[in-house]
Structure 1
Amino acid sequence: MTPLQKIYTLLALYILTCNPLNIASAQSFECKADSLILRVFNDKNGPGGVFMVAQNGKTIYQNAFGKANLELDVNLTAENVFQLGSMTKQFTAVAVLMLEQQGKLNVTDPVSKFIPDYPAGDRIMIHHLLTHTSGIKDFTKMPALSSIAQKEMTPEMMVAFFKNEPVDFAPGEKFEYNNSGYVLLGYIIELVSGERYEDFIKKNIFEKVGMSQSCYASDKQIINKRAYGYHKKEHGYVNKTMISFSVPFSSGSLMSTTGDMLKWQNALNQHLLLNAAETEKAFDKYQLSTGKTFNYGYGWHIKEIKGVPDREHGGSIFGFKTMGVYIPGKDIYVIGMSNCDCNSPTKITGDIAALALDELR
């Protein structure tokens, strides 16, 4: 085939599949989604991302861009496993609600019930930890963080690292995103259940839902189809900075795939893990002590896209960024995962969700 014939062939394929006037709406949506993604994820020889759209519990769009491993020149696929970063908080919040459903704790319980020596622990409720309204110091903002970033920390050691820091405000007074609160929740899950956090999540969530490609993060264990994480420097891409996953712990140390995350979303919708009353708590809006309502439930931001209510959360950890958006009124789920913290899927995921609202019926 001559070069000119190749050009004509590619042009013909574009007209058949990505012509905006094509009457096949599914093809039109797929091409428009690709176009949104390629505005940012356009380096086919660099790290990239995987994106998925589902409606009514079933995948209707999925595509991968870039490399899963630069050194081995391996392309990303929909089956690659990514670090979730703060999307981990969804699982931690649901684990707490599962324990409440079992009668083992209550979200109105004070922290002092489980950690008697926690400063002002009688005033800080589990609810405050779940909603980022506790006022405790976020360990990610502490200058001393670098001194423990690569150390193996127990949950008790992590709590000790920040618990004596001055508080930023009184419990319930403000909403301020806080990773320490979710580390505390992971520790409480261990104290109440008698199991390690990672074991509790694996047995009570991953295995029940069938999330076979999801796990607690590790740089040492062999993880099948792992996507490797990268940073981008002036001279090019470099491997991600190594950290101990015992530091972010229950605030950011889980790994998953787009397919497993759809199983997770479907399990929430079908009440496989939580009854309707407990599920509603995760997605409710709450008030500060001032009476002001804020847009965060338990593990999810409660927002809107084009005036339509949605639930969303992102994640960022060395080498990875993630974003998930669920629109309950249309049962549309959109998720994006990047294996370079130089490329954020946040805006693209929101744009694809907005596109889905316009085009999917």
Structure 2
Amino acid sequence: MQKFLLLSLVVLSSFLSKAQDLSRKIDSLIQSEFKDINEPGGVFLISKKGKPVYEKAFGMANLELDAKLNTNSVFQIGSMTKQFTAIGILILEEQGKLKVSDPISKYIPSYPNGDKITIHHLLTHTSGIKDFTKMKALQDIAQKEMTPEKMVDFFKNEPADFAPGEKFEYNNSGYVVLGYIIELVSGETYEDFIKKNIFDKAGMTNSYYASDRKIIKNRAFGYHKKSTGYVNKTVINFSVPFSSGSLMSTLDDMLKWQNALNQNLLLSSKEETKAFTKYKLNNGKEIEYGYGWHLKNINGIPTREHGGSIFGFKSMAVYIPSEDSYILGFSNCDCNSPTQLIRDIAKLTMENSKVK
């Protein structure tokens, strides 16, 4: 019995030592990028089998009020919004209200070439429609309240970049159209649909459609870095990025999101699999994108990834299905991108799991 207890203590001690060593290495990686605790910073989470194993905050949430970031801070997540939009479309498909093979002309009859562009093309960034973020006229509407219909009208008559299905080119406009279709088909606002069908079901009580006017507890403020120092982020009306980039969330809520996907709380396994399937162009070439996720790999191990960037904020998450490991980071200065950092942390955790 004593030998068994001694062996158990040795194993436990080894496990704790290994975990502490990994934590120190991750701290070091993050602090090499987020050096000054008195500047805007970031929050980071690593989960294993649905449970957090690392969760820390670095830097300031509000420079004017001298308020520090904490692991419950609410961040704008930018283009990680696209995951929610894509799953929203699949929820409507599972309800029998649309099909991803439908042409968008079925829902928006006036859309140019809409009989050739499908919902699938929008989801996979293969539609060829003009990305509104690349239009010079964007500055004219950036601070205006835009309905989804007005946003679609803003870019729909621009010349196409290529024929549908010919090429993969990351595209925000496609996801704005998807959000508009969600509203048309569901009869609800995008904000209400996402809250009812995703946030509420997943228990994401600290996630929101972004607003600069609402009082949001634990809000992290966004910053730009200039040669003279930090300045508050540029203001944009969130009706402009809309369903391509206007959601806010926290580390813990995003873990709830990942767990809800894993547990099929939102969709059946068959329907959800569509989001994580690599699709092909017209010429048969495979692209590394599903519906709302980049499908890549780290050292040959498949990953599901997506980042986000919106004025004052950047975000990145990597999920490793084979290890059920989720690595996530948010930054409240768009001068600090966590993209490579999160991939490096993911690589470190993978290497650590191989060490016995």
Q: What band does the TM-score fall into relative to the shorter chain?
A: over 0.9
Q: CA RMSD in A?
A: 1.0
2:341 paired residue number: 348
**Matched residue type, 2:240:** V
Correspondence 1:98-113 to 2 at 5 A: 98-113=91-106
Among 134, 158, 164, the alignment partner of 2:157 is 164
Q: Is the 8 A contact 1:52 1:59 kept in 2?
A: yes
- Higher mean alpha-carbon deviation, 129-138 vs 270-279, is at 270-279
Residues 1:141 and 1:55: Cα distance change in structure 2 (over 3 Å): same
Partner residue of 1:260 out of 253, 269, 276: 253
Percent identity of the aligned residues? 69
TM-score (norm 1): 0.93
Superposed displacement of residue 43, structure 1: 1.2
Matched residue pairs, number? 341
Question: Residue 175 of structure 1: which of 150, 168, 174 is its match?
Answer: 168
* Alignment partner, residue 324 of structure 1: 317
Which residue pairs with 2:224 in the alignment? 231
Shift in Å at residue 22 of structure 1? Answer: 9.9
Q: 1:153 aligns to what SS in structure 2? A: coil
1:36-86, CA deviations, whole angstroms, 9 ceiling, x for partnerless residues?
101110111110000000000000001110000000101100000000000
- The residue number in structure 1 matching 2:272 is 279
- The runs of at least 4 aligned residues of structure 1 exceeding 3 Å deviation read none
* SS of corresponding position for 2:153: helix
| Alignment partner, residue 305 of structure 2 | 312
1:95 partner amino acid: G
**Structure 1 Cα separation of the partners of residues 299 and 204 of structure 2:** 31
Distance (whole Å) between structure 2 residues aligned to residue 45 and residue 23 of structure 1: 31
The alignment partner of 2:322 has SS state of coil
Q: Is the 8 A contact 1:159 1:183 kept in 2?
A: yes
- Normalization by structure 2: what TM-score? 0.95
- Match of 2:344, as an amino acid? D
> Equivalent of 1:50, from 43, 49, 53?
43
Deviation at 1:133, TM superposition (A): 0.1
Q: Secondary structure at the match of 2:323?
A: coil
**1:241 equivalent in alignment to 2:234:** yes
Task: Answer whether contact 1:206 1:214 (CA < 8 A) is retained.
Answer: yes
8 Å Cα contact 1:22-1:28 kept in structure 2: no
Task: Report what 1:193 is aligned to.
Answer: 186
Gaps of 5+ in 1: 1-20
The Cα shift of 1:360 comes to: 2.8
Which of 72, 87, 104 is the equivalent residue of 2:65?
72
CA distance, structure 1, for counterparts of residue 255 and residue 158 of structure 2: 38
Structure 2 counterparts to residues 55-134 of structure 1, below 5 A: 55-134=48-127
Equivalents in 2 of 1:94, 1:144: separation in Å?
30
| 1:278 Cα deviation from its structure 2 partner | 1.0
**Aligned residue identity for 2:273:** E
- Displacement of 1:23 in angstroms is 6.8
How many angstroms apart in 2 are the aligned matches of 1:153 and 1:122? Answer: 25
1:171-226 CA distances to partner (integer Å, 9 max, x unpaired)?
A: 00000000000000000000000000000001110011100000000001100100
CA distance in 2 between partners of 1:59 and 1:359 (Å): 16
